[in-house]
Structure 1
């Protein structure tokens, strides 16, 4: 059935406003819309009750219009690859069905509880290490299986890690949202991907991409859960790389030498014969920016070991 689904090249029907109490209909099921779960760049996610079995599901609704339908095609291809996996054992959201109604392309998923982003926002303090470990282990298992089928998630962040049912099964999580997922065989140098606070040095410098970029994002997720705020945050990619260099130390020479965007952030020092990270004034001048890029960090870490000495209550109070 999935292979036979085709996307119209243009809207086949007018897009109708969808609200609580209205319905969606596919060839095999009817859904009552209960509430809005979230809004995204390419569509909304609604909580629905599937009438045939009264099961609660989540439906992602994207307008069947360019460029939105092109984004759905991309996500549909990734979701089809995930069908090879046992999505429950692999800690990946279970995708059930695709259909079209009221001018929307609809993707039906299992209904999960809440994102780590919303969960952290509702807490008084960050998570303890014993709470963080099982979360990271589960996401690492998901990434291992994605690597096994040749797929990068490319947008791992707190918003895309969901608690399955926290009251009944504490800290059981699944990875969601494969809208930016990339097949390893299709990854190209200079691809713009990953949310800024979770963006890897490979993406920032314009290097060949591998599943290592997801592991970097997972490290950023870990730090966020521990601190209660992003480890690397900034208003621009320059700030992000500045934070990375200051916290982790100098990047490997081979990374800097091979990056297609290296000259954006580094300058070649003739005397030392090495690439040197630009200061904010140099970057502003070379990039012809009107203002010096704003550093959003409230706490600067000289190295990763310094995180041990951070007061969790203080770190949480400066959440970005």
Structure 2
């Protein structure tokens, strides 16, 4: 690698033709670049279908192969009912591992940014939440953990033709859930679960935590948890959600980093270190900053972050959303709500809104959900697929659906004053 920088630093250019064994793809645009490599928009020659191709760096080759295996298994397990990006094929191009995927539109973070960080309505958040719960339920039933749930990894299918339709992407860090204890990747702090920070045994509950952080971002237009340091993030979690039980803290490997042990005659308990104590013990310099969490004492206070709803059913819907969010962001991972139970929560089923035929809010809410019908109803946890299913998924390759070219979005705001002006319009004095 070091002796051949041209290959190590290989970049795909426009008008390059990428060839698999059966297809040729003309590169029309560069969609993104990162530590993984590049994502390019391509036209499939012969059909004029538009696809996205993820070109993985040589140093990330193993990650690319892992993503391919996970996506193939998902395709075999649930086909196109998973709200997960459709995988088409994989191939090598000049020693670069390539994944051909359906062409999607824009990720949730950039979408909210284009709206000047003005948040979504609660009945719009429900539509997105339902689709992501379906996706996470598929992964849980397969015994797979995504490990990197965040707004950047959730894409709108087409913000004009299919408003609020989303799909989960980027499975390069995904793994079989039983293998989580052998991995050390940590999500961005704004999405990092307390289980990861405290170094507890991990399972797919970390994905549900990531979902809670996504939903709170859609509601606030800002991240609920700070991203300066793990101590700062954990202290805000404890402020809003309460401290993990002493038994849980005793089992965590990193408790001593953040807590001090207070012993009694026959008992002991844990107390979060002060900022000064943490700095002294860790040597890490931290800056405690103000954020949206500064105005909150619990998640119940989220209802005060919006103008008061005039429709009583809209108010009830907000309270139902907050209840679901509290169950998703349970600081104890064993109590955190599962995807299937989330799908059966009244906020998703809209049971609390049934019969309100005279409410414009309720009518609009039902119309929004009608465009995104739920998959077959489930009432209990499903069992993971058997070995034969997984083997079949590894062996088969199917064709996928391609998306047409996307419509242009409003220009991304690049002025802080413009963002503040838009947010004041929505939040009033809250910002």
Please, what TM-score do these two structures have when normalized by structure 2? 0.67
Number of residue pairs aligned between Structure 1 and Structure 2:
306
Alignment of 1:153-302 (within 5 A): 153-188=146-181, 191-271=184-264, 273-289=268-284, 291-295=285-289, 297-300=291-294, 301-302=296-297
Alignment of 1:1-320 (within 5 A): 14=7, 16-64=10-58, 66=59, 68-124=60-116, 125-188=118-181, 191-271=184-264, 273-289=268-284, 291-295=285-289, 297-300=291-294, 301-311=296-306, 313=423
Which structure ranks higher in relative contact order (CA pairs < 8 Å, sequence separation ≥ 6)?
2
Query: Which one is further off, 39-48 or 149-158?
Result: 39-48
Alignment partners' CA distance in 2, 1:29 and 1:287: 55
Cα distance, 1:133–1:298 mapped onto 2, change above 3 Å? closer
Does the 8 Å CA contact 2:11/2:38 hold for their aligned counterparts?
A: no
Alignment partners' CA distance in 2, 1:80 and 1:223: 31
Alpha-carbon RMSD across the aligned residues, in angstroms, is 2.3
Alignment partners' CA distance in 1, 2:428 and 2:236: 20
Cα distance, 1:295–1:77 mapped onto 2, change above 3 Å? farther
Alignment partners' CA distance in 1, 2:428 and 2:207: 28
In structure 1, list runs of 5 or more residues that go unmatched: 1-9
What do the CA deviations read for 1:259-289 (whole angstroms, capped 9, x no partner)? 1111111110124721101111111111112
Cα distance, 1:317–1:39 mapped onto 2, change above 3 Å? farther
Q: 3-state DSSP class of the match of 1:85?
A: helix
Cα distance, 1:199–1:17 mapped onto 2, change above 3 Å? closer
Alignment partners' CA distance in 1, 2:169 and 2:428: 28
Alignment partners' CA distance in 2, 1:98 and 1:317: 50
Larger radius of gyration: 2
Alignment partners' CA distance in 2, 1:46 and 1:129: 34
In the TM superposition, residue 91 of structure 1 has moved relative to its aligned partner by: 0.4
**Larger proportion of helix:** 2
What do the CA deviations read for 1:162-205 (whole angstroms, capped 9, x no partner)? 11112111111110111111211212067333222111111111
Query: Which one is further off, 251-260 or 42-51?
Result: 251-260
In the TM superposition, residue 62 of structure 1 has moved relative to its aligned partner by: 1.2
Alignment partners' CA distance in 2, 1:189 and 1:61: 27
What do the CA deviations read for 1:128-149 (whole angstroms, capped 9, x no partner)? 0011001001000100010000
Alignment partners' CA distance in 1, 2:282 and 2:213: 27
Alignment partners' CA distance in 2, 1:296 and 1:197: 14
Alignment partners' CA distance in 1, 2:279 and 2:255: 15
Does the 8 Å CA contact 1:266/1:277 hold for their aligned counterparts?
A: yes
Q: 3-state DSSP class of the match of 2:88?
A: strand
